[in-house]
Amino acid sequence: MGRLTYILAVSALFGITWMLITARLTLESFGVGFLISALIILLVGTRDTATMQPARLPRQAISLILYTLKSFVDITVASFDVARRVLHPKLPLKPGIVAIPTQDAQQSETIAALSAHAITITPGQLAVDFDGAKTMYIHCLDIDSAQDSAQEQAKRLKALRAILGKD
Letters for 15-54 (x = contact with another protein by CB under 8 A, - = none) are --xxxxxxxxxx-xx-xxx--xx--xx-xxxxxx------
Give the 3-state secondary structure of residue 149: helix
Give burial (CB, 10 Å; 0-12/13-18/19+) of 69: exposed
* CA 10 remoteness from chain centre: 15
80 near 126, Cβ under 8 Å?
Answer: no
Given 73, 86, 150, 154, the residue binding another protein (CB under 8 A): 86
Q: Angle formed by the axes of helices 2-21 and 27-43, to 10°?
A: 130
Strand duo 96-101 + 125-131: pairing: unpaired
The residue among 49 and 55 lying less far from another protein, judged by its C-beta, is: 49
| Residue numbers 109-138 binding another protein by CB under 8 A | 109-110, 112-114, 116-117, 120-121, 124, 126-130, 133, 137
What residue ranges bind another protein (CB under 8 A)?
10, 14, 17-26, 28-29, 31-33, 36-37, 40-41, 43-48, 71, 75-76, 78-79, 82-83, 86-87, 91, 93-99, 109-110, 112-114, 116-117, 120-121, 124, 126-130, 133, 137, 139, 141, 143
